[in-house]
């Protein structure tokens, strides 16, 4: 009897372990994950107008990208060029992190990310100095697909900008990103894109300080839910430029800033970006959102 009871207990225990393993696998598959095949390359270029510019880069793979803003910059680099009249220099700082939760799949940029250019007295640089973030970020969707709450898929972004534009100089912020659905055993499908180009100039005789922001929300995939088992990707570039003629220019983020997948929030999308990937089907999706939510999207 003891041997029989022991056998029954071992069988029951094994069955419990199998069931627990199955539940763990089920729970794991239900989660949306940041794909380890993702990568972000942070680059510093001294003079983009130079035919042979100096460039320094750091590439972070998915496993190296932290889940919150790091304490130190992942790229912290200086170029110095000497001419007959003196030195010119440029400094680049950048750091990224990845946010992955039910409501927010985003790439974050640490406050202070940006670039400076001091082109006097050397005047070695003919064009802007640049900090570039080349993004290839991928998320593996869990069992609920995207988004999880029965709302419309979107991309939300907010960048807090600030700096100093030197005399006869310019600071410039650019976004050029494409958003893609990666279907298993299928071809990638573009579900949206975003292009931003914001310039800050100075035609006065003294340095000009400024603060500004770039923020909004855009509808993805014509408002259609993205199914479980797919992947969604964000690829392209985010750029900071600084140039000057008679006094130093600097340009950076004044606080941590993010861009990523989430619920389409039309309150943040007015006016809608000109790069909104929409068309007639997209307009129909926005109208459907208005009817479903009872929110008036257009005046």
| pLDDT tens digit sequence for 137-182 | 999 999 989 998 778 999 999 999 999 999 999 999 999 999 999 9
Q: Which pairs from 107-110 meet CB under 8 Å and 24+ separation?
A: 107/40, 107/135, 107/137, 107/234, 107/258, 107/259, 107/260, 108/68, 108/69, 108/256, 108/257, 108/258, 109/133, 109/159, 109/238, 109/253, 109/256, 109/257, 109/258, 110/69, 110/70, 110/73, 110/253, 110/256
Question: pLDDT at residue 289 above 80?
Answer: no
Question: pLDDT grade, residue 268 (50/70/90)?
Answer: low
CA dihedral 150, 151, 154, 156 (to 10 degrees): -110
How far, in Å, CA of 99 to CA of 108, rounded?
7
276 has a pLDDT exceeding 60: no
Contact 232, 261 (CB under 8 A): yes
Measured CA to CA, the distance from residue 274 to residue 282 in angstroms comes to: 13
39-48, 109-118, 267-276: the lowest-pLDDT one: 267-276
pLDDT one-digit tens code per residue, 190-231:
999 999 999 999 999 999 999 999 999 999 999 999 999 899
pLDDT of 30: 66
Average pLDDT of the chain to the nearest whole number: 84
Q: What is the mean pLDDT of residues 236-263?
A: 96
Is the pLDDT reported for residue 42 higher than 90?
Answer: yes
What percentage of the chain carries pLDDT values higher than 90?
Answer: 69
Has residue 269 got a pLDDT over 70? no
**How confident is the model at residue 119, as a pLDDT?**
93
If you write DSSP's letter for every residue of 12-79 in order, what string do you get? HHHHHHHHHHHHHHHHHHTS-EE-TT-EEEEEEES-TTSSS--EEEEEEEGGGS-SS--SS-SEEEEE
What's the pLDDT band for 267 if we cut at 50, 70, 90? low
Tell me the pairing of strands 208-219 and 257-263: unpaired
Residue 103: band (very low, low, confident or very high) from pLDDT cuts 50, 70, 90: confident
pTM: 0.81
The pLDDT value given to residue 35:
96
d(C-alpha 281, C-alpha 115), whole Å: 40
Per-residue pLDDT at 75 = 98
CB 262 within 8 A of CB 179: no
Q: Report the distance separating Cα 35 and Cα 57, nearest Å.
A: 22
Number of H helices, E strands in the chain: 2, 16
CA angle 191, 195, 197 (to 5 degrees): 170
CB 167 within 8 A of CB 202: yes
């Amino acid at each position: 009897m003891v041997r029989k009871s022991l056998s029954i207990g071992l069988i029951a225990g094994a069955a419990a372990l199998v069931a627990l393993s199955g539940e763990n696998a089920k729970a794991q598959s239900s989660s949306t994950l940041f794909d380890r095949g993702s990568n972000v390359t942070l680059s510093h270029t001294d003079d983009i107008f130079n035919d042979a510019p100096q460039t320094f880069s750091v590439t972070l793979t998915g496993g190296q990208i932290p889940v919150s803003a790091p304490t130190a910059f992942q790229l912290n680099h200086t170029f110095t060029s000497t001419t007959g009249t003196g030195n010119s220099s440029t400094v680049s700082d950048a750091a990224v992190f990845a946010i992955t939760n039910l409501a927010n799949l985003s790439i974050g940029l640490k406050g202070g990310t940006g670039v400076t250019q001091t082109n006097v007295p050397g005047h070695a640089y003919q064009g802007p100095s640049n900090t570039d973030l080349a993004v290839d970020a991928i998320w593996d969707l869990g069992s609920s697909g995207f988004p999880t709450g029965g709302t419309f898929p979107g991309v939300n972004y907010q960048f807090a900008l600030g700096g100093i534009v030197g005399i006869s100089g310019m600071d410039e912020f650019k976004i050029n990103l494409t958003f893609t659905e990666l279907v298993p055993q299928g071809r990638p499908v573009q579900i949206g894109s975003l292009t931003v180009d914001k310039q800050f100039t100075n035609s006065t005789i003294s340095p000009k300080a400024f603060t500004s922001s770039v923020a909004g929300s855009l509808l993805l995939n014509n408002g259609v839910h993205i199914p479980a088992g797919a992947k969604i990707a964000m690829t392209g570039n985010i750029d900071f430029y600084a140039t000057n003629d008679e006094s130093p220019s600097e340009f950076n983020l004044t606080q941590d800033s993010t861009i990523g997948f989430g619920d389409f929030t039309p309150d943040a999308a007015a006016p809608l970006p000109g790069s909104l990937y929409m068309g007639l089907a997209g307009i129909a999706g926005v109208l459907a959102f208005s009817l479903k939510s009872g929110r008036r999207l257009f005046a």
